[in-house]
Amino acid sequence: MNYKTHINGGILVGLYTNCQLANMPLMSTAVLLGGAFVGSIFPDIDHGNSYIGKKTKGVSKAINKLAGHRKLFHAPLVYLFLYSTAIGMFTDKLMLIGIKGIFLGIFSHLVLDSLTIGGLPWFYPFSKKRFSICMIKTNSKIEDILCGMLICINIVMLLDMLHITSIFTFTHR
Ligand SMILES: [Zn+2]
């Protein structure tokens, strides 16, 4: 998937989680969404031609050489391990919200990449086999439609949260 789809997937998960956590202060909401934004594009740092890869040139190249594309940096089990470690390391509430945001964004990235033809190595490092559940081609018309749908859902969620519309039920908190 391209970075636009990933960013919108990350924002969607961030907004949804924000609705579930009732009465979040504005600062926490900003940290959660910021984390989800960063997390949603982070895994593609293993690809020099990706949006984040182009921004981090040398780092991305080194990671690609060392870890390859869609391997270590696209491994759900690795992130699960990192998440449990990171959560145990901090006690600051805002820091924990930021970490949760980042990993929610990463989670959305992994789900979206699982919908592509290339698939995702769900059990890496135990198996290199990639799993794909939808066969969507990156940058195809279908991805554009999916991205458009994500944008629409995000806009409606935002309008709901600002009490301008009242379309989704989970936003009524
Ligand atoms: Zn990716």
CA 11–ligand 1 middle distance (angstroms)? 16
Closest CA relative to residue 69, chosen from 92, 53, 91: 53
CA 74–ligand 1 middle distance (angstroms)? 7
Q: What is the pLDDT of residue 23?
A: 82
CA 54–ligand 1 middle distance (angstroms)? 14
Residue-wise burial string across 135-145, b where 16 or more C-beta atoms lie within 10 A, e elsewhere: ebeeeeeebee
Model confidence band, residue 172 (pLDDT cutoffs 50, 70, 90): confident
CA 22–ligand 1 middle distance (angstroms)? 31
Decide: helix, strand or coil at residue 36.
helix
CA 71–ligand 1 middle distance (angstroms)? 10
Listed by start position, the domains of the chain span 3-161
CA 101–ligand 1 middle distance (angstroms)? 17
Model confidence band, residue 43 (pLDDT cutoffs 50, 70, 90): very high
Q: What is the pLDDT of residue 101?
A: 98
The 3-state secondary structure of 103-143, one letter per residue: HHHHHHHHHHHHCECCCECCCCCCCCCCECCCCECCCCHHH
